Chain A
Amino acid sequence: MHPIRKKRLTIVLVLLAGVSVAVALTTYALRQNINLFYDPSQIAEGEAPVDVRIRAGGMVEEGSVLRDPESLKVEFKVTDFTSSVLVEYTGILPDLFAEGQGVVAMGRLDENGRFVADQVLAKHDENYMPPEVNEALEKAAGKRAAMSGAESDAAASY
């Protein structure tokens, strides 16, 4: 390669490396602001500020959704399977909202550790499948649960 071209190539590569390092350091310093939400463990450890508008995200805990029959008020627990946080929300939930689904709620954390949300968004995961496959999977899971249930019943009768 021609020496001038070699020199130019070096300059360009050094420029690129410099920019990458600068951007890496900036995003590293801003990581808490780039993260869209706090997860329940961070809230439990007290990392999330109280009474400041923040987002909390995680899975809706199975069997934790309580709907007020008189109004649109809903209460549910958001969990990351280590800790969970109680979320209170009044309003219309997105279609994908369900127990076991991911959500991101925006609102304030009060002193008692309750999260009062004014917006709840559903977080979709990267898995796609046809409904029949899902039914088959659930059926198989149900069968397995029934079998293990029967086994424990059998064990209990002895």
Chain B
Amino acid sequence: MWQIFHKLGSPKWFFGIASTLMPWLLWAGVAMLAVGIGWGLAFAPQDYLQGNSYRIIFIHVPSAFLAQSVYIMMAVAGLVTLVWRMKLADVFVKSVAPVGAVLTFLALFTGAVWGKPTWGTWWIWDARLTSMLILLFLYFGVIALGAAISDEKSSARAVAVLVLVGVVNIPIIKYSVEWWNTLHQPATFKLTEKPSMPPEMWVPLLLSVLGLYLIFGWLACLRMQTEILAREGRTRWVKELVQAQGN
């Protein structure tokens, strides 16, 4: 078992696996996202209270969901960096941090656009919105710290510590709507109960969440490959790969 784990850490091995996976991730992701968002925006029924404006959830929920999942994945990679000193884990953290930041921004932005007609305000300092804003700043912090330290090893460790400290924010985001009084409504989807939404609304929503996951997977592979090429430019396998592509 440990052997597979260490093999996973080899950039060359990962590069090959990523190349085979990427087309599948991309096309399956694009198809699911197109069906999910198309269905959600055009065919799903209106909401009895909000009318059409609720449709923004088909973009808001997937991006907010992914924004938090990406951070959890980064925290796991950070743990691997600190304990096993695996280079690939740091490559993952550095590659996906900007993606996570964009997703968090998208969640905050779509939320604000929805909040204006529904609540009557773009922004309110309630626990859910504020903790989500902290997540955005954590992503910015990870990107900035990673770029500020030029030594690869110390940069990896510093970023890993920051990511791990910040992971405390994730349960706060999740449970903020239950622990405190907030303007943001509680979760529509719970693991133990039926969603408080009919299937013709939650099926397209689920499709767009899964589609966005797959597209994230593709984007992560692509960005990690780029990062690996930049870091391992002097090794023999990269030179051979580049020569093979050149011919």
Residues of chain B with a CB closer than 8 A to A19's CB = 165, 168
Q: A121-B119, A133-B48, A134-B48 are in contact. Are A128 and B188 (CB under 8 A)?
A: yes
Q: Does A114 make an interface contact (CB < 8 A)?
A: no
Collect the chain A residues with CB atoms within 8 Å of residue B125's CB. 36
Is the pair A16, B164 in contact by a Cβ cutoff of 8 Å? yes
Contact B198 A124 (CB under 8 A): no
Q: Mark B195-227, 1 if CB is under 8 A from A, else 0.
A: 011101100000000000000000000000000
Question: Of A5-13, A45-53, A68-76, which binds chain B?
Answer: A5-13
Q: Is A152 an interface residue (CB 8 A)?
A: no
For A23, what are the chain B residues with a Cβ–Cβ distance below 8 Å? 168, 172
- Set of chain B residues within 8 Å of A93, measured between Cβ atoms: 120
Q: Does B69 sit at the interface, judged by CB under 8 A?
A: no
A128 to B48, CA, bound (A): 7
User: B198 contacts A130, CB within 8 Å?
Assistant: yes
Q: Which residues of B contact A122 (CB under 8 A)?
A: 118-120
Determine the chain A residues whose CB is within 8 A of the CB of B232 once the complex forms.
none
A96 vs B164: C-alpha distance when bound (angstroms): 40
Q: How many A-B residue pairs have CB under 8 A?
A: 111
Task: Give the segment of B98-106, B176-184, B236-244 that binds chain A.
Answer: B176-184
Query: Which residues 2-34 in A have Cβ within 8 Å of B in the complex?
Result: 5, 8-9, 12, 15-16, 19-20, 23, 27, 31, 34
Nearest CB to that of B187 among chain A residues?
A126
CB <8 Å contact, A36 and B45: no
- Stretch of B31-39, B79-87, B143-151 contacting A (4+ beta carbons < 8 Å): B79-87
Within 8 A of B (CB), among A102-158: 104, 119-135
Q: Give the Cβ gap from A137 to chain B, nearest Cβ, in Å.
A: 9
A: number of interface residues (CB 8 Å): 40
Q: Is the CB of A8 within 8 A of B121?
A: no
From 41 to 91 in chain A, residues with beta carbon under 8 angstroms from any chain B beta carbon are 57
Most buried by A among B117, B120, B185: B120
From A93, which residue of chain B is reached at the shortest CB distance? B120
How many B residues have CB within 8 A of the partner chain? Answer: 40
In the complex the two chains form, is B180's CB within 8 Å of A131's CB?
no
Q: From B50, B124, B185, B186, give the contact of A121 (CB < 8 A).
A: B124
Pairwise interchain contact B197-A8, C-beta atoms closer than 8 A: no
The answer to whether A130 and B200 have CB atoms under 8 Å apart is yes
- The reply to whether A130 and B181 contact each other, CB–CB distance below 8 Å, is no
Q: Which B residues form the contact surface with A (CB < 8 A)?
A: 45-50, 54, 79, 82-84, 117-121, 124-127, 161, 164-165, 167-168, 172, 179-183, 185-188, 196-198, 200-201
* With A16-B165, A124-B50 already in contact, 17 other A-B pairs whose C-beta atoms are closer than 8 Å: A8-B83, A12-B79, A12-B82, A23-B172, A27-B179, A36-B124, A96-B49, A120-B120, A124-B49, A124-B185, A125-B185, A126-B186, A126-B188, A129-B47, A130-B48, A131-B45, A133-B198
Sampled A-B contacts (23; CB under 8 Å): A5-B83, A9-B83, A12-B164, A15-B161, A15-B164, A16-B164, A16-B168, A19-B168, A36-B181, A96-B119, A101-B49, A121-B121, A121-B183, A123-B183, A124-B185, A126-B186, A128-B47, A128-B197, A129-B47, A130-B45, A130-B48, A130-B200, A131-B48
Q: Which residues of A contact B (CB under 8 A)?
A: 5, 8-9, 12, 15-16, 19-20, 23, 27, 31, 34-37, 39, 57, 93-96, 101, 104, 119-135
